[in-house]
A and B are shown apart, each in its own frame.
Chain A
Amino acid sequence: MGETFVQKVFSRKVGKKVIPSEIVVVEPDFVLSHDNAAPISKIFGKFGVEKIKYPERLVIILDHTVPAPTEVEAGNHKLIREFVKEQNIPNFYDVNTGICHQVLSEKGYALPGKIILGSDSHTTTYGAFGAFSAGIGRTEVASIWATGELWMRVPETIRIILKGDLPKGVYAKDVILHIIGEIGADGATYKAVEFTGELADKFSIASRMVFSNMAAEMGAKAGYFHPDDKTIEFIKDIAKADYEILKSDPDAEYEKTLEFDVSNLIPQIAKPHTVDNVSPVNEVEGTKIHQGLIGTCTNGRVEDLEEAAKILKGKKIKEGVRCLVFAASMQEYIKALKKGLIEVFAKAGCIVMNPGCGPCLGAHEGVLAPGETAISTANRNFKGRMGSREAFVYLGSPATVAASVIEGEITDPRKYL
């Protein structure tokens, strides 16, 4: 019997063959934290150890409330900067860099075969590069800082085979929303998800990141693709460490295999207040909106901004509607700037913000008032997520959000393509 990718990653780490459901203690290769490095450093303080065991394995990226909206967050950032200095943590990225999942990837930490853990639920994103990456809690991160290790359960794997060609106006985001709608927000709880098939191979790295990022929204522990030439091209000049390409054996045992043919898919929307409450766009067309959000760690790469700009070029957003644009990182922002996309957004009446999480989690930079409705390219639409608990958040692709802000209501983007 062959082994899954997950078994291989864990077997190499612990130096013996492991089987799914086994509980093992592993030393992660990299450990991510963001603005929550401040509370984590306080938990770390409780252990009574002076120094972080492996400071070079920490990656700290400030992104959740950047730049600091109030004195409280400013104090947290200051505390983190001081802690980074005191502990000689080399991999620190300040408020001007971008969203942690994009930055960690573009700085070359997201590498095939690595185990990357982070105190953020969308740490699953690095599966796009063939890494095993999973979200954990703050106390767990603090414990890794002190001991270098953590217990993990080796997960079973669900294989998702992606087939068919993407129709016009349908993107990675629509496909993953459709899948989550089908299998549910707990459809892959505790499991690893392998995205494979001809269509998976065709997807760009940016599109694969959409899938791995949103694997968290079906409860998955990790969501990964097998590395290929595109992966190598992305990491070859930036890799921060040696890596090993690991793939599932052809005769590996999966918990189940699901197939999705996207040939007849139309743009998809997640409706309030859960990500698995998914409908084709035609069922919600005409829903009035007050705000659009284009960006986030899910859809803030230049590939996404380009799709939105194609639709917004030479157009104006509807009067009374706000549209916020957040590139996922400064690097992506500069790419967008060079391509003239930022000008397209600004001329259309969008507010182009600094790279960061923005209002995605309701902290600042454009939150919603009671009774307001937003359509966002983010990954989560829970009640209260973007500010008021009496607000409504719909999720869609960058193209769908762009078309919707022009019309002031949820709109099928295909009429603009």
Chain B
Amino acid sequence: MADKIKGKVWKYGDGVNTDVLYPGKYTYKNLTPEEIASHALEDLDPDFSKKAQKGDIIVAGKNFGMGSSREQAVTALKYKGVAAIIAKSFSRIYFRNAINQGIPAIQSEQASDAIENGEIIEIDFKNGKIITEKREFSFPSFPEKMVEILEAGGLVEYTKKKLGKN
């Protein structure tokens, strides 16, 4: 995890669920990362997978990622290059999956309200700040365990390290 990132915002509303993030009909197809990325958010915003760039940031409302435990709902965004997700709140499993895939999931109600679609924003993880052109928002630092996982680049790398396989 970099200390700071900067990216363009894709803004969505409340309750972005796992079926629109990654439709169930693809979950048991053995797709490549590129193919998985091509279905990201297709039932909510078909433009996203065509136009999103590496380093972009998703900003959304309440209960982001509600629904299934399917990890492709996270990996589809990861493979698309999404660098972070900011939401008013996250569904529990989605939050875990995001951290475990090395994507910082940041909870900030104020930032979510203020940030607009297409804006360029900066996230300073070290100091817990979201910086827009007009304002700054703070967010609490992640618990130690999550930082370790994010710093390892996700749970796979973290587990490997723990097992002494790196």
Contacts and interface: CB of A to CB of B under 8 A. Distances in A.
B20 A23 contact: no
Size range of the interface on B? Answer: 35 or more
19 contacts: A23-B143, A36-B28, A48-B165, A121-B69, A123-B69, A137-B93, A137-B100, A139-B156, A142-B156, A146-B163, A186-B89, A189-B90, A362-B24, A363-B24, A363-B28, A382-B18, A383-B19, A383-B43, A389-B43
B30 A72 contact: yes
Given A186-B15, A189-B92, A384-B43, 16 more contacts: A23-B143, A48-B165, A121-B69, A123-B69, A137-B71, A137-B74, A143-B155, A185-B15, A190-B92, A219-B66, A221-B92, A274-B17, A362-B25, A367-B25, A380-B68, A382-B67
A385 B19 contact: yes
B13 to A, nearest CB: 12
Interface residues of A, number: 48
B108 interface: no
Given A73-B28, A119-B69, A383-B19, A46 B92 contact: no
A387 B30 contact: no
Nearest to B66: A185
A120 B66 CA distance: 13
Interface string B45-76: 00000000000000000110011111100100
B155 A139 contact: yes
A47 B159 contact: yes
A23 B145 contact: yes
A293 B97 CA distance: 30
B71 to A, nearest CB: 5
Contacts of A204: none
A143 B165 CA distance: 13
B92 A219 contact: yes
A122 B145 CA distance: 25
B27 interface: yes
